[in-house]
Amino acid sequence: MLFLALTDERGNLLWISAARPGRSNEITTARHNRVCAHLRQAGLGALADLGFVGLDDQPDDAPFIITGAKATRTRKLTAAQKQANALLSTERARAEHGFADLKNWRVLTKSRLDAGRATRLLRALLVLTTTEITR
């Protein structure tokens, strides 16, 4: 099962996508949920990992999805790109705490549900996690 989540800058979960089969990849799931369009509409941006390189369809105008730079066998990263990747990963570390809060619900490790039931479970866990953190 694969799902996407958005957190604020403090790592609090804000949104969880619908669950998709585990064979889906992150960028396809983000396109299916129209993450870029929703971010543009809300006037927000996002920091993402290297799995989302190429997701933003208008990166030159105003990037809404900021990802690091990928190295290939033939093209190594420059010192500036390495430094930018390190800065991005330190900022993303805060957001990973939101995912850690969600993973504390052990029911996700053993769930073998269809996507519809898993989506309802994830949305319920989002509500429970939000109320637990705000207490």
Ordered per-residue pLDDT tens for the chain, 135 residues: 788 888 888 878 888 888 888 788 888 888 888 888 888 888 888 888 888 888 876 666 666 788 888 898 999 999 999 999 999 988 888 788 777 777 777 666 666 667 777 788 888 888 887 776 666
Residue 50 CA to residue 21 CA, distance in Å, equals: 20
- Overall pTM surpassing 0.85 (yes/no): no
Long-range pairs, 89-94, Cβ under 8 A, ≥24: 91/47, 92/47, 92/48, 92/49, 94/7, 94/9, 94/10, 94/11
Euclidean distance between the first and the last CA atom of the chain, given in angstroms as a whole number: 30
Residue 31 CA to residue 58 CA, distance in Å, equals: 14
With H, G, I as helix, E, B as strand and everything else as coil, classify residue 81: helix
For the chain, give every domain's residue range.
5-134
Residue 116 amino acid letter: G
The length of the chain is 135
